[in-house]
Homo-oligomer: A and B are copies of this chain.
Amino acid sequence: MAMISIRQVKPEDDADIWAILEPMIRAGETYALPRSLSREEGLAYWHAAGNRVFVAEEEGVVVGTYILRANQQGGGSHVSNCGYVTAPFATGRGVASAMCRDSITRATAAGFRAMQFNFVVSTNERAVNLWRRHGFEMVGTLPKAFLHPTLGYVDAFVMFRPL
């Protein structure tokens, strides 16, 4: 297994990041985002104010990206939130797992006391199992909260992990 390293984003990473985000957005199966989102809108979403953005590299090639942010403001700002996307050509090689591990380390170091995933699409079983392995527990099920492009209305999960 190749070594996956994770670093903070640089401005010149935008092309690689969009190459990773676009197939996920166009597929519309895992994130609650409009499938027609433009490059500008997609990158603006990823780089939104308050987001820390990271990329995962394998032998100098960007194979994934993730965001880390506070899930709420004010009295809820001690709980973090992340979103992870792996490049289509790099799935099944532990990229998401490496990013999740890294995000837990960084969120803990930043003083967050927990991490929450607000909307894990239930049919994204690989993700659900991965988050469980990384210590996330099921808070509950949002019934039929996601319209999957081929499967119709499916459940989404809220998941949570103390840090």
A-side residues, CB < 8 A to B, are: 28, 31-35, 72-79, 113-114, 116, 118-119, 121, 138-149, 153, 156, 158, 160, 162
State whether B114 touches A144 (Cβ < 8 A).
yes
Known: A114-B144, A145-B116. A28 touches B74 (CB 8 A): yes
For residue A136, give the distance in angstroms from its CB to the closest CB of chain B. 12
Whether B139 pairs with A33 at a CB distance below 8 angstroms is no
> Quick one: copies of this chain in the complex?
2
Q: Is the beta-carbon distance between B158 and A143 smaller than 8 angstroms?
A: no
B-side contacts of A73, CB under 8 Å: 32-34
Find A79's partner among B139, B142, B158, B160 (CB 8 Å cutoff). B142
B142 lies within 8 A of A116 (CB): yes
Give 15 CB contacts A-B under 8 Å.
A32-B72, A32-B75, A34-B73, A72-B145, A75-B147, A76-B156, A78-B147, A113-B153, A114-B143, A114-B144, A139-B139, A139-B140, A139-B141, A143-B162, A144-B162
Whole-angstrom distance from the CB of A25 to the nearest CB of chain B?
8
Min distance, Cβ A4 to any Cβ of chain B, angstroms: 29
Contact B139 A158 (CB under 8 A): yes
A35: nearest residue on chain B (CB-CB)? B74
Q: How far is the CB of A13 from chain B (nearest CB, A)?
A: 24
